[in-house]
Amino acid sequence: MLGFLALAVIGPLVAPYPATAQIYPDARQPPSPAHWFGADRLGRDVFSRVVVGTRDVLGLAGIGTVIAVTLGTLIGLVSGYRGGLLDEALFRAFDGLLAMPALLLALLLLGVVGPSRWTILIVIVVVYTPIVARVVRSVVLGAKVRGYVDAARLQGESTAYILAGEILPAVLPALAVEAALRFAYAIFLVSSLGFLGVGVQPPSPDWGLMVSEARNDAAIAPWAMFFPAAAIAVLVIGVNLVADGLKHVLLEGEP
C-alpha cells in the first residue's frame, strides 16, 4: 500500500518515458533494460504507464471513497438516531439500490451521464454511500440506547453533540474497516469500468483500460496485459490486508 501511494505521488518523476509516448520501432518489445515491463502494440512503455496510472486509480477510488464514506456516515448517524418513517423509507430505497450488482448499477449510471472522471466519481458515491450508511446505522441503533447517550440527553445536550461526541466514537471502528473495504472495491470498480471501455478514456494509462487494449495481443505480447493486471491484483490484495488488519485491531481487539 505504501509503495503504491508513493508511486501515486512521485510516479511521473520516476517514469522513464511519458505515459503516452509512442515509440513505434519498439512496439511489442519484451521486457528489457530499455523497457522494464516491455512495450505495448503502439510502442508505449508499459512500466511508465503502470507507474503513472497509479495516480489515476488511487485518486479516483480514494476521492470517491472519501465522499461516499462521509455522506454515508452523515446519513447513517442522523437517520439511525432519528428513526421513524423517514428512516424506513430512506433505507428501503437503499435496499432497492443494493439489490443491483455494483457493476451493473455503475454501467446504468454511466449510460445515462456518459463516461468521464467526474461521472466515475459520482458512480462510486452513488454505489457505495448506501452500503456505508447501512453499516453506520446498524451501529447507531445499538449505541443510541446506551446509558451514556441517555445521560447526555438528560443533561440537555444538543443532538449534534450527542451524534458527534457520544455515538460517533462507537461507530469509528466499524467505519474504518468499512472504509478500507469500500476503497478496495472502488479500485476494482474503476479498473472494471476502464476494462469495459466506459471508464477513463484513452490515451489515459488506466490499468483496466490497458488490460482491455492488450488482450487482443495476449498471445504475442502478454506482458502488456500481465503487468497492469498484476498491479490491480496486488493493490486490491494490499488494501484488503489493511482492512483485515483494521478488523482484528479495532473490532476484535487483537494486536
Structure confidence by residue, pLDDT tens digits, 162-189: 898 889 988 998 899 899 999 999 999 9
HEC secondary structure over 121-154: HHHHHHHHHHHHHHHHHHHHHHHCCCHHHHHHHH
Rounded to 5°, the CA angle 125-129-134 comes to 170
Say whether the peptide bond before residue 18 is cis (omega within 30 degrees of 0). no
Q: pLDDT tens-digit profile of 33-46?
A: 999 999 999 999 99
- pLDDT given for residue 108 in this prediction: 86
Mean per-residue pLDDT of the chain: 89
pLDDT at 152 over 90: no
Average pLDDT for 137-152: 87
DSSP string for residues in 154-217: HTT--HHHIIIIIIHHHHHHHHHHHHHHHHHHHHHHHHHHHHHTSSSPTTS--HHHHHHHHGGG
pLDDT of residue 252: 66
What is the set of domains in the chain, with CATH numbers? 46-251 (1.10.3720.10)
Q: How confident is the model at residue 255 (pLDDT cuts 50, 70, 90)?
A: very low
pLDDT in tens, 201-247: 888 889 999 999 999 888 899 999 999 999 999 999 999 999 888 88
Q: What percent of the chain has pLDDT over 90?
A: 48
| Residue 115 φ then ψ, to 5° | -80, 135
* pLDDT above 70 as % of the chain: 98
Average pLDDT over residues 243-255: 74
Written as one letter, the residue type at 183 is: F
**Three-class SS of residue 83?**
coil
Per DSSP, 63 falls in state: H
pLDDT band at 248 (very low <50, low <70, confident <90, very high): confident
Q: What is the pLDDT of residues 185-198, one digit of tens each?
A: 999 999 999 898 88
Q: Is 39 helix (H, G, I), strand (E, B) or coil?
A: strand
Predicted confidence (pLDDT) at residue 64 exceeds the cutoff of 70: yes
pTM of the model: 0.88
